[in-house]
Amino acid sequence: DSGVTQTPKHLITATGQRVTLRCSPRSGDLSVYWYQQSLDQGLQFLIQYYNGEERAKGNILERFSAQQFPDLHSELNLSSLELGDSALYFCASSPPGGAAYNEQFFGPGTRLTVL
Amino acid sequence: EDKVVQSPLSLVVHEGDTVTLNCSYEVTNFRSLLWYKQEKKAPTFLFMLTSSGIEKKSGRLSSILDKKELFSILNITATQTGDSAVYLCAVKDDKIIFGKGTRLHILP
């Protein structure tokens, strides 16, 4: 158990819908990262937040957005869902003080299925 | 374009064998390289490498980075069935780029 929690564990929804994935980082960690993992694309970095501020952006679609709240939990919002958005979404956190050089601790993931 | 390439894509060996997994990269502003093990759940951290030529070791696993030739290797000696997993390499510059992984299967 990494100490990073994600909810829900599984999510099944229809095309065109909107969902929110939630992540709570490890106690004391200020950075939160979101990843998408699909069979054909591997693990893709989406976005990073540090202490409430967006720090780095990867391959995140415009239909997706994220935020980190004052209590440091983060939410990833996916809208106008398409079949291709079906994937495992991971959240990871890392300790403060030079996030570029710190390891990341991954949560258990949320499996999203879009029908 | 920044990229991380892992090889081989898949590897099947017998228990007790030694394996070497490769990771090469091209990124704009290298900061660190990380190795992860992923079984049927979330990736778990193995190593972080920032300096060339310094071997990191943990039990039967070891890794080294060559920043001149832009690659890293992960060695696993005396493999066990519990080593069966996907091994992921990631490089941090201004963002994080993962390779597609090497799927390792250890036969008893």
Q: Are the C-beta atoms of residues A66 and A34 closer than 8 Å to each other? A: yes
CB of A9 less than 8 A from some CB of B? no
Q: What average pLDDT does chain B have?
A: 93
Q: What average pLDDT does chain A have?
A: 91
Which contiguous run of DSSP H or E holds residue B19?
strand B19-26
- Residues 34 through 63 of chain A touching chain B, CB cutoff 8 Å: 35, 42-45, 48, 56-58
pLDDT at B53: 87
Q: Which two tokens stand for residue B59?
A: 């039990």
Question: Which pLDDT tens digit goes with each residue over B88-103?
Answer: 999 988 788 999 999 9
Listed residue (A49, A103, A72, A65) closest to B56, CA to CA: A103
pLDDT at A72: 95
Q: What DSSP state is assigned to residue B58?
A: E
- Give every CB contact of residue A15 below 8 A, 6+ residues apart in sequence: A81, A82, A83, A114, A115
pLDDT at A99: 47
Question: Which pLDDT tens digit goes with each residue over A24-75?
Answer: 999 999 999 999 998 777 899 999 999 999 998 988 999 999 999 999 999 9
Mean pLDDT of A82-94: 95
pLDDT at B22: 95
Check pLDDT > 50 for residue B81: yes
Nearest chain A Cα distance for residue B17, angstroms: 27
Pairwise CA distance, residues B66 & B50, whole Å: 10
Question: Which pLDDT tens digit goes with each residue over B20-69?
Answer: 999 999 998 898 999 999 998 899 989 999 988 889 999 999 999 999 99
Pairwise CA distance, residues A111 & B102, whole Å: 22
Pairwise CA distance, residues B4 & B22, whole Å: 10
Contact B95 A57 (CB under 8 A): yes
Check pLDDT > 70 for residue A10: yes
pLDDT at A101: 56
CB of A33 less than 8 A from some CB of B? yes
pLDDT at A2: 85
Listed residue (A101, A108, A112, A114) closest to B91, CA to CA: A101
